[in-house]
Amino acid sequence: MHSIKAVLEQLGKSGLEVEYTRERARPGKVPVLTKVYQGFGGLANSHKDFAFGTFLLLYYSQIQGLPASWVSAVIAVSLVIDAVSDPVIGSVSDNFKSRWGRRHPFMIFAAVPFGLCLGALFFPPTEMGDGIMLAWLAFFTIATRLAYTFYFVPWNAVAAEFSEDYVERTSIITYRYLVGWIGGVIFFIFTFQVLFPNTEEFPAGQLNPMHYPTFGLIAGGLIIAWSLLSALGTLREVPYLLQPVKETPTFSFKRSISEVLLALKSRNFRLLFVIFLMFSGLAGVGGVFDIYMNTYFWGLTSTELQYFVLSGFGALASFASVPFLQKTVDKHTLLLTFLSAFMTLAILKVCLRFWGILPENGETMLLVFLVCHGIVMTYLLTTCGIMVGSLIADLVDEQELETGLRQEGVFASAISFASKATSSVGILIGGILLDTVIAFPRQAEFGSVDDDTLFLLALNDGVIIPALFFIPIFLITRMNVSRARLAEIQAALGRGDNDSSKPDAVTQ
């Protein structure tokens, strides 16, 4: 506590002490429509992740012919720049004051640049040489991620402000995932069914270069639409959200850094931060390999890839089961259990192929197995994501009790920083592995890659990388954020399950 007090004293000298208040007390639960509107922001995020995670590396390396290590290095650098900006935007939005609230002006401002920059990525100047094309990739990747930061950090932070109820916070995050998944599934089907169909010339439609500009236009336009719908749809909630009573101090990097350091004084948040560092780094490496595994190792065409839309049933199962699980099981226990199962099943999938148990490529039963495996993995990972989002809201309350400060934006941005910073390292490592250790050929035709190369790809993606998930799993066991602990915290803060009958002012 002494170190926390010292940091608080330093922050006070920097003019950080702010009094926050709500214009109105919420009369009941958060409206379902508000949860749905909030979820549309997750849909914009889903489209961005789909474009970056599925197509960006494949498009620039296998179709445009740039080395995978070059492309992954650009993506990694953009993530680092993006990650550094997250705490800054989080700090600014925490202390921002306007008639439209702390978060919404940033979301509205960023929506159009976010969509336009992502769309531009799929219109590279291919006739001007590899150097210009790489520069184009770098500029618009960085621009997309910075615009996304201005949108995502405030959007993510505002979810923690809607409610103080332990279970309803999980409900808010569940709706976010529900909307994102439903819309994402529809977009997934549309992409592979309409934009990238299999043809005689391109038996794997995802290798057809003609349709990528159309994909960029549609994805960018939808991102703009969903982002604005989420921001404007939840604008009516601003009176129920905390805002500074007086004008806040002007922005300074020193204050932003101090706020992040203060957030990391929390043991539970520090553990969650490190868990995300590890998880995101490993996921970054795996994300590089995913489309390569599906296209070349498992031999799936775009028609077959469409069936992975059924993994959405795993998300639906998560949305349906989480409320029941939350009644009896604490969030960090669910996170520990489900992430352990995720690691085990990730390793098992490739091992079953190595052991000769799975059907051969092209057989219907192989596709059935892969889709069923995807449904279960989606169920596990979606539940983990919901638990993490809900845990962050609980840790904000713990931070307020310990320090007197509410840091929704800083907490959200610090987690986002952890995710992006190590994801960038993971993407870079994945690209280097593809070019060196695995020696994957560029512009490889469907079905043309030799068995030794495919074995190395699968060994890295399906065994080595998943096994390292044991480290974040172990760290989860060190957390103490139970339901009983949150009840004690909120009692000490003078709040119950819902703040509608409590005093509005919060001094920070």
Determine, yes or no, domain membership for 316. Answer: yes
Summarize pLDDT for 85-103 with one digit per residue, the tens: 777 777 777 777 777 877 8
452/446 Cα distance (integer angstroms): 16
Helix (H, G, I), strand (E, B) or coil at 28: coil
Of 487 and 122, more confident: 122
Instruction: Using pLDDT thresholds of 50, 70 and 90, give the confidence band for residue 166.
Output: low
DSSP designation for 199? -
For residue 181, the one-letter residue type is W
Q: How far apart are CA 471 and CA 349, in angstroms?
A: 20
Examine residue 24 and state whether it is found in any structural domain, yes or no: no
Per-residue confidence (pLDDT) for residue 8, from 0 to 100: 47
3-state class of 506 per DSSP? strand
How many domains in the chain?
1
SS in 3 state form for 351-400? HHHHCCCCCCCCCHHHHHHHHHHHHHHHHHHHHHHHHHHHHHHHHHHHHH
The residue written with tokens 């602990």 in the block is 485
More confident residue, 131 or 347: 347
- Asked if residue 308 lies in contact with residue 371, where contact means CB atoms within 8 angstroms, the answer is yes
Alpha helices by DSSP H, listed for 234-311, are 253-263, 267-292, 302-305
Q: Is the pLDDT of residue 251 over 70?
A: no
Question: How sure is the predictor about 7, in pLDDT bands with cuts at 50, 70 and 90?
Answer: very low
Say whether pLDDT at 504 is over 50.
no
Which residues have a Cβ under 8 Å from the Cβ of 437 and sit 6 or more positions away?
456, 460
SS3 helix, strand, coil % of the chain, rounded to 5? Answer: 75, 0, 20
Average pLDDT rounded to a whole number, residues 366-386:
90
Has residue 17 been placed in a domain?
Answer: no
Q: Is the pTM of this model over 0.75?
A: no
Query: What per-residue confidence (pLDDT) applies to 506?
Result: 39
- The three-point CA angle 294-297-302 to 5° equals 35
| CATH number, residue 208 | 1.20.1250.20
Is there a domain that residue 10 lies in?
A: no
pLDDT at 507: 38
The yes-or-no verdict on residue 320 having pLDDT over 90 is no
Kindly state whether residue 201 falls inside one of the protein's structural domains. yes
Using N-to-C axis directions, what is the helix angle for 408-435 and 364-403, rounded to 10°? 140
Distance CA(244)–CA(255), nearest Å, equals 17
> Position 263: which residue type?
A
Q: Distance of alpha carbon 38 from its chain centroid, rounded?
A: 15
The pLDDT tens digits of the residues spanning 410-451 come to 776 677 666 666 666 677 777 778 878 888 887 777 777 888
User: Higher-confidence residue: 14 or 322?
Assistant: 322
If we measure between CA atoms, which residue out of 87, 304, 98 comes closest to residue 192? 304
CB 263 within 8 A of CB 408: no
Is 442 within a domain?
Answer: yes
Q: Which two tokens stand for residue 42?
A: 């997750």
CB 441 within 8 A of CB 449: yes
pLDDT digits (tens, 9 = 90+) for 38-55: 888 888 888 888 888 777
**Nearest in space to 94 (alpha carbons), one of 35, 41, 16, 38:** 16
Q: Which two tokens stand for residue 196?
A: 């990238």
d(CA 407, CA 508): 10
Could you tell me if residue 53 is inside a domain?
yes
pLDDT of residue 117 exceeding 90: yes
Average pLDDT of the residues of the chain: 79
Residue 263: partners with Cβ closer than 8 Å, 6 or more residues away: 269, 399, 407, 410, 411, 414
Please, which residues bridge with residue 20 across strands?
244, 506
Task: State the pLDDT confidence band at 70, using cuts at 50, 70 and 90.
Answer: confident
Find the mean pLDDT for residues 68-73.
81
Residue 243 main-chain phi, psi, to 5 deg: -140, 155
pLDDT of residue 503: 39
Domain that holds residue 68: 31-242+265-494
Q: What is the pLDDT of residue 144?
A: 92
Distances (CA, A) of 309 to 176, 190, 291: 18, 10, 15
pLDDT over 90, % of the chain: 14
Q: Which amino acid is at 50?
A: F
Token code pair at residue 315: 């998300």
**478 DSSP 8-state letter:** T
For the beta sheet containing 506-507, the strands, ordered from the edge strand earlier in sequence to the opposite edge, are: 242-244, 19-22, 506-507
pLDDT of 302 strictly over 80: no
Is the model's pLDDT at 13 over the cut of 50?
Answer: no
Q: Among residues of the chain, what percentage have pLDDT more than 70?
A: 82
Average pLDDT rounded to a whole number, residues 165-181: 76
What would the two tokens of residue 256 be? 């932003």
Task: Reply yes or no on whether the pLDDT at 78 is more than 90.
Answer: no
Evaluate if residue 348 carries a pLDDT over 90: yes
Q: Is residue 466 part of a domain?
A: yes
- What's the token pair of residue 124? 């590279």
Mean pLDDT of 476-498: 74
Residue 155 has pLDDT above 80, yes or no: yes
